[in-house]
Amino acid sequence: MKLARHIANLGYGTRREVLAMFADARITDVAGARLYADDVAPHASIRIDGEALDAPPGFVAMLHKPVGHTCSLRDAGRLVHDLLPPRWRRRKPLVSMVGRLDRDTSGLLLLTDDGQLLHRIISPRAGVAKTYQVQLARDLRGDEAPLFASGRLMLESETTPLAPADLEVLAPREARLTIREGRYHQVRRMFAATGNHVEALHRSAVGRLTLGELAPGAWRLLDADEIARIFDG
């Protein structure tokens, strides 16, 4: 693809704005040699004002979503999008969140511009594991693990039972829950179905991918090994 289009698709500006950047000689190769709008060059070799470009198309990133940010573009209040580079909103293909987390849920949120990969991750058939740390308002009753594992739990206003989920009790009011589907407010509703209430919810892993040292509010790109880890476990 010609450079003017490639750079415009990365969200650096309209085609006209990008052409103006070429005219101002702001776009160069790694050695500082001027590049032109109709050139074709490897993504990694392009610099704008001496800076490397944002991630190439087909990227996957993870964000450590803090509590209080909404996964929507339009809500009043703090948005997940405010934590991401503004340029990403103008990229083609679009950058999408892979599923959502509630405003009051923190943890691992994936983002990608790769539509096929997004569908592979959220497809119920893929059954990608999502692991949550759960703090509860009341002590666990003791029968939650077999109930969640049974594949027979029916949530209110649903017509099909939940797929088996794996509950590990960590303390009387603390548990780790792994689910393989993504129904609306699923974890909160599962505990509500047992007469409990989720006080704090944190997604700690997707497949075998974890946040590691990523601080709340921070994001980073994933490499191929990390992307493969999403489908493990």
Which residues are annotated as catalytic?
Answer: 102
**Residue 121 Cβ, how far from ligand URA at the closest point, in Å?**
14
> Which residues touch 110 (CB under 8 Å, ≥6 apart)?
60, 61, 62, 63, 97, 98, 99, 121, 206, 230
Is 88 or 191 the residue whose CB approaches ligand URA more closely? 191
N-terminal to C-terminal alpha carbon distance within the chain = 38
CA-to-CA distance for 129 and 135, rounded, in angstroms? 19
Quick check: 112 binds ligand URA (CB under 6 A)? no
**Residue 128 Cβ, how far from ligand URA at the closest point, in Å?**
13
Residues 45-104 that bind ligand URA (CB under 6 A): 101-102
**Residue 204 Cβ, how far from ligand URA at the closest point, in Å?**
12
**Which ranges in the chain belong to alpha helices (H)?**
3-9, 15-23, 115-122, 144-149, 186-192, 224-230
Indicate the DSSP class of residue 157.
Answer: T
What one-character-per-residue DSSP string does 160-199 give? Answer: SPPPP-EEEEEETTEEEEEESS--TTHHHHHHHTTT--EE
Determine which residue in the list 188, 207, 209, 219 makes contact with ligand URA, applying CB under 6 A.
Answer: 188
Determine which residue in the list 70, 112, 131, 186 makes contact with ligand URA, applying CB under 6 A.
Answer: 186
Determine which residue in the list 68, 185, 223, 228 makes contact with ligand URA, applying CB under 6 A.
Answer: 185
Q: Of the ranges 19-27, 118-126, 143-151, 183-191, which one interacts with ligand URA (CB under 6 A)? A: 183-191
- 3-state secondary structure (DSSP) of residue 3: helix
Residues 195-214 that bind ligand URA (CB under 6 A): 201
Is 105 or 112 the residue whose CB approaches ligand URA more closely? 105
Establish whether the linkage from the previous residue to 93 is cis, with ω within 30° of 0.
Answer: yes
Q: Of the ranges 15-23, 108-116, 134-142, 184-192, which one interacts with ligand URA (CB under 6 A)? A: 184-192
Instruction: Kindly report the backbone phi and psi dihedral angles of residue 139, in degrees, each rounded to the nearest multiple of 5, phi listed first.
Output: -60, 145
Is 112 or 186 the residue whose CB approaches ligand URA more closely? 186
Q: Of the ranges 3-11, 50-58, 185-193, 225-233, which one interacts with ligand URA (CB under 6 A)? A: 185-193
Q: Are 63 and 111 in contact (CB under 8 A)?
A: yes
Quick check: 131 binds ligand URA (CB under 6 A)? no
Determine which residue in the list 105, 112, 131, 196 makes contact with ligand URA, applying CB under 6 A.
Answer: 105
CA-to-CA distance for 228 and 206, rounded, in angstroms? 11
Q: Which residues bind ligand URA (CB under 6 A)?
A: 101-102, 105, 185-188, 201
